[in-house]
Structure 1
């Protein structure tokens, strides 16, 4: 069984805006708790995300907070993954 989770950025956006009254750290912990449920599945999990931290600096506080949140979530997912591949212009770069 294979599960494709596409995409973490959109999924995380829902957490970010649904729980705006919480801190970024609290939202991150909620997202990690939910993501860990996927890991418990016996299926092979393919995760698609965006590396938004490589772009320009967010123009407002909300954008900067979300960029940080996305980066921390990506780091967590990568730490749990058996393999990590960064796609650049359609070229796969093996990270892990």
Structure 2
């Protein structure tokens, strides 16, 4: 699945942007950002390109319902994830990051 295909699917749940929003919509919303390469190596070569991406959920406060909707969509798409959340003091918002791998 490509980032564009993932964006199309996640837009069925919440407004979604690739990388960042120029002007973010009302909460909740999502952003998909490339984090780093997690390529598979074999015979001293990059055998398979694997992009590690972050699906970032932004809410005004901890929002278990919104998290459940994102998690259900990722599960429906067969995309395994790990997650970590934090409150962004400067922006006064909550961020839940779902780390996924796109091949």
TM-score, normalised by the number of residues in structure 2: 0.26
Q: Which of structures 1 and 2 has the bigger CA Rg?
A: 2
Is the helix fraction higher in 1 or 2? 1
Is the strand fraction higher in 1 or 2? 2
